[in-house]
Amino acid sequence: MKAFIVSKYGEDTLQAAEVPTPTIGPRDVLVAIRAASINPLDKMVRNGEFKQLLKYKRPFVLGHDVSGVITEVGAGVQNFKIGDEIYSRPRDLRIGTFAEFIAIHEDDVALKPNTLSFEEAAAVPLVALAAWQTLVELAQLQPGQKILVHAGAGGLGSTVVQLAKHLGAYVATTAHTTEMDRAHDLGADEVIDFTSKDFSDVIAGYDVVLDSLGGANLRKSLTVLKRGGLAISVVGPPDPSFAKQLGQPFLAPVMGLLSRKIRRKAKGLGVRYSFFFMRASGKQLTELAALYEVGALRPVVDRTFDFDETAEALTYVEQGRAKGKVVVTQ
């Protein structure tokens, strides 16, 4: 089958290749891929930013989001059958959605929302799981609480804004001048134009901040939280709990050193810091599918590319040109 692989880490290393069609284990399903979407995580994995933690054996197929049709099921699969239309974010070390087929553990799979096309469904899994796990599990966001979501018109931010509103929170977000109307349309109560205003001069006393930019933006985000508030970053630095999530607790001291400065600053302000890295969950995707089917959540797709243009689609996302998710279709 044709796939887009990483044979060496670095920029511009994604290349088309012919690779064997995956074989399935007893709890796996084989999926004929109809669509896959591009995530910043694809660039990070391609560049080797997680190579010490996620030890992929090169060459490997890249890609973290998928929608498609099941063509084969393992002997132990109980919840899916041939012909089911599904969507998924395969677990780490079993990614590979930039291909014609992928074998996925059934625990990572959910039936595709009936109201979404394959293209729309492929745009959902990673960002929807990230939104659910940050807001529901990590922050335990409650009705009436206040959350700041950075880049609320982007691929991740647009989903977090919608879910936060569904959970009853007051939502502020940052956006470019040209994207302010879109952020309001997604449900944001307050939209701050980052081209003309510094968010830390405008808001204060928030319960939660979701940061997707890192660096100075993250440090500044700590200052808008009320005492006991929580800043969550999806770009780092990683903290000791991340080592435990990876099943490598011996790395906790290293993670502690990497995040020492930001955790110290948070403690000095009387707030908390947490790094977040989402995990695969078909069960949660099933719950999220119900929200998409009733319109409580909706995908935000910027552009679609043909499968043969997967490398160009990744470049497009890297250039920061996307206003929502970018999808490749077959």
For residues 252-274, give the mean pLDDT: 94
Q: What is the pLDDT of residue 249?
A: 85
State yes or no: pLDDT of 254 exceeds 90: no
pLDDT digits (tens, 9 = 90+) for 50-96: 888 888 999 999 999 999 999 999 999 999 999 999 999 999 999 99
- Average pLDDT of the chain, as a whole number: 95
User: What integer pLDDT is reported at residue 172 of this predicted model?
Assistant: 98
pLDDT of residue 142: 98
Q: What is the pLDDT of residues 122-162, one digit of tens each?
A: 999 999 999 999 999 999 999 999 999 999 998 899 999 99
DSSP 182-221: HHHHTT-SEEEETTT--HHHH---EEEEEESS-HHHHHHH
CA 100, CA 330: separation in Å to the nearest integer? 8
Query: What integer is the mean pLDDT of 270-289?
Result: 96
Residue 135 is classified by DSSP as I
Whether CATH 3.40.640.10 fits 126-275 = no
Does the structure show a pLDDT above 90 at 291? yes
Query: Positive or negative CA dihedral for 293, 209, 276, 319?
Result: positive
309 alpha carbon, distance to own chain's centre:
22
pLDDT tier for residue 30 given thresholds of 50, 70 and 90: very high
Q: In the prediction, which pLDDT does 304 show? A: 96
Which of the residue ranges 53-62, 89-98, 235-244, 278-287 would you say has the lowest mean pLDDT? 235-244
Task: Give the residue with greater pLDDT, 61 vs 236.
Answer: 61
What tokens were used for 85? 């239309």
Instruction: Name which residue leads in pLDDT, 91 or 255.
Output: 91
Whether the pLDDT of residue 41 is over 80: the answer is: yes
Residue 321 pLDDT greater than 80, yes or no? no
Least-confidence region, from 12-21, 76-85, 150-159, 237-246:
237-246
Q: Over the Cα atoms of the chain, what is R_g?
A: 19
Whether 2-123+300-329 shares its CATH topology with 126-275 is answered: no
Q: What is the pLDDT of residue 320?
A: 80
pLDDT given at position 234: 93
CB-based contact 80:29 (threshold 8 Å): yes
Homologous superfamily of 2-123+300-329 in CATH?
Medium-chain alcohol dehydrogenases, catalytic domain (3.90.180.10)
pLDDT of residue 246 exceeding 80, the answer is no
Return the axis-axis angle of helices 125-132 and 155-166, rounded to nearest 10°.
40
- Least trusted range by pLDDT, from 205-209, 251-255, 281-285, 320-324: 320-324
Q: Where are the domains of the chain?
A: 2-123+300-329, 126-275
DSSP notation for 219-248: HHHGGGEEEEEEEEESS----HHHHHHTT-
pLDDT band of residue 5 (cuts 50, 70, 90) is very high
Specify the pTM.
0.95
pLDDT at 323 over 90: no
Q: What average pLDDT does this structure show over 261-271?
A: 96
What's the confidence (pLDDT) of residue 236?
82
Q: Convert the pLDDT of each residue in 184-212 to its tens digit.
A: 999 999 999 999 999 999 999 999 999 99
The confidence score (pLDDT) of residue 241 equals: 86
